[in-house]
Amino acid sequence: MKVLLKSGMLNYLDQGTGPAVLLIHAFPLNHTMWEPQLSVLTPRFRVIAPDIRGFGESQPPSAWTMEEMADDLNELLGKLDVTDCAVAGISMGGYIALQFWSKYSTRVRKLVLADTRARADNETEIKARNEMIAAIEHGTIVLSDRMLPRLLQPNASHDVAGTVRAMIAGVDASAAAHAVVAMRDRPDFSSALHRIKCPALVVTGENDAIIRPDDSRGIADAIPGAQFVQITDSGHLSNLENPAAFNRALLDFLLL
């Protein structure tokens, strides 16, 4: 489905009935990465899964900040008559989810932070982002070359690797560069975590090569009452690599 926001045309999935759940995808993917969650969520929940600006079928691929992305999602929920919802973000989606909670906390009934960080990038990570931005100017092949081995664990199934590779192959170069800039410049929410009052679930893949499980555990420790679930047999994209375990954790939490 498509909706015209102030920032452009946003493509999103809106499926199922029940309390709303907003699913925010990782970089450099799109909303279809949530496919393995739909069959368990949609019988009980209204799932809203947007393509972040410039990804999937959202257009145009213009520059954004985390705060502007939170504004986009707020506008989307307004247009869909959703007052509040559970917000679940994976990786880049988690950065956006935290920013959304920070600005629109009354809209957030529950928060799921999967394979993500609360802190800002450190010097080394900023340098790597800048190298990535420069490399993307020569084509998006760098995304599959550099990212695919880090997104998935080495023994990821052929099917999952193929799905992720296909999503990356369709990425628009300028959308990717804008997202890397937004991630590089994102605020640090580490010291705000103790203020999260809604129920929270922190998820990590046990073999995540991008976010160390200790970083995820630190987020869970800092949020009062947060649950922490480590997904076995999974790398960074835990919802795709071990959907059975991810779905169990997500559903148990959402049904609480």
Return the residues of window 52-111 that contact ligand MLT according to CB under 6 A.
91-92
**Residue 79 C-beta: closest distance to ligand MLT, Å:** 25
- Regarding 226 and contact with ligand MLT (CB under 6 A), the answer is no
Out of 5, 22, 26, 47, which residue is the one contacting ligand MLT (CB under 6 A)? Answer: 26
Nearer to ligand MLT, 94 or 199 (CB): 94
Rounded to the nearest whole angstrom, what is the least distance from the CB of residue 18 to ligand MLT in the complex?
27
Nearer to ligand MLT, 175 or 199 (CB): 175
CB 198 within 8 A of CB 225: no
- With respect to ligand MLT, which residue has the nearer C-beta, 47 or 66? 66
Q: Does 183 bind ligand MLT (CB under 6 A)?
A: yes
Q: Is 238 in contact with 231 (CB distance < 8 Å)?
A: yes
To ligand MLT, the closest distance from the beta carbon of 17 in angstroms equals 29
Q: Which is nearer to ligand MLT, 16 or 89 (CB)?
A: 89
27 binds ligand MLT (CB under 6 A): yes
Token pair 């069959």: residue: 39
Contacts (Cβ under 8 Å, ≥6 apart) of 150: 209, 210, 235, 236
User: Is residue 210 part of the contact set for ligand MLT (CB under 6 A)?
Assistant: yes
Residues 54 and 60: beta-carbon distance below 8 Å: yes
Q: Which residue is nearest to ligand MLT (CB)?
A: 91
The count of residues interacting with ligand MLT (CB under 6 A) is: 7
Distance CA 65, CA 59 (A): 16
Closest approach of ligand MLT to the CB of residue 217, in Å = 18
**Minimum CB distance to ligand MLT smaller for 185 or for 252:** 185
Query: Minimum CB separation from ligand MLT for residue 256, in Å?
Result: 26
Q: How far is the CB of 182 from ligand MLT (least distance, A)?
A: 10
Whole-number Å distance between alpha carbons of 193 and 220 = 9
Q: Which residues bind ligand MLT (CB under 6 A)?
A: 26-27, 91-92, 183, 210, 236
